[in-house]
Amino acid sequence: MISFQILSSGSNGNMAVVRTEQADILIDCGRNSSFMKKNFEELNIDPSGIDGALITHAHTDHINASSLRFLDDFGIPIYSGSDIFGDILERFGEDSIQFENIKVLDQRFVKKIKDISVDFFYAYHSDEKVSATLGFCLECFDNGRKYKIGYLTDTGKVCKRIIAKLADCNILAIEANYDEGMLSGSFRPQKNKDWILSGCGHLSNTDSAKAIADIKKSSSASDSLKYVFLSHISEEHNTPELSLRTVRDELKRAGAGNINLFAASRDMRSKKIIIGCRNTRQ
């Protein structure tokens, strides 16, 4: 059994949890400690038993001072790239985290965290505060069958390398940040709009749909991309309804309409998806 649930998604904070028979893993920790405590209590997750937190990058909606203290207080290992850790330490200071909790991912091998294999790849998202951003793939075996979850939030483009990494995911979380028309007509400074539209900014609804269709076409498993979560939906330049409608329409045109599509929320936990054999640990 492997389950996936988004706890929060958007500019106010991003966070998801993956659970298996043996492991509890967080992906991003962009909310404060109060939010984390409340959600873990409601989900019956013991923070001291969390096996790791995978951090995509150092923007505060993905890791912040409050969540760093929470991770440190409970001795939760933090996994990311050396460049991301450099950004975190530069932004929050060396006193923000115990160095023994830092676990640097290395591209030469896939990291095993209990029964979950964690692979990662570099995305396209950077600015003056962030030098690099990661995406993740998590795999586990259940009754001899492999299950795979892909997580890609904050990227300005999706290349063939990323598509190959995300092929055959059963569950995918991918950003659909903005609608082009809403962004064009927004109050944001032009410099910020140009960055969002750039190859190191964010994906639009149509960009996201194209990436999903390309990943589906590159997949061989019949149940690939069975569940897709549209994430990091902008409060100012998009709506969940518009995002779902645009992506659904684009996928139908691309011949990839048989996907269970969800819009992740800023303030409410998403639907929990459980794949593989279910047990009592839910």
Domain 2-275: assigned CATH number: 3.60.15.10
Q: Which residues contact 112 (CB under 8 A, 6 or more apart)?
A: 118
Show pLDDT as tens, one digit a residue, over the chain (282 residues): 899 999 999 999 999 999 999 999 999 999 999 999 999 999 999 999 999 999 999 999 999 999 999 999 999 999 999 999 999 999 999 888 888 889 999 877 789 999 999 999 999 999 999 999 999 999 999 888 999 999 999 999 999 999 999 999 999 999 999 999 999 999 999 999 999 999 999 999 999 999 999 999 999 988 899 999 999 999 999 999 999 999 999 999 999 878 999 999 998 999 999 998 654 444
Domain boundaries, the chain: 2-275
Sheet holding 52-54, edge to edge: 102-104, 78-80, 52-54, 24-29, 15-20, 2-8, 273-275
Q: State the Cα–Cα distance between residues 190 and 246, nearest whole angstrom.
A: 24
Q: Which residues contact 223 (CB under 8 A, 6 or more apart)?
A: 170
- pLDDT of the residue at 144: 87
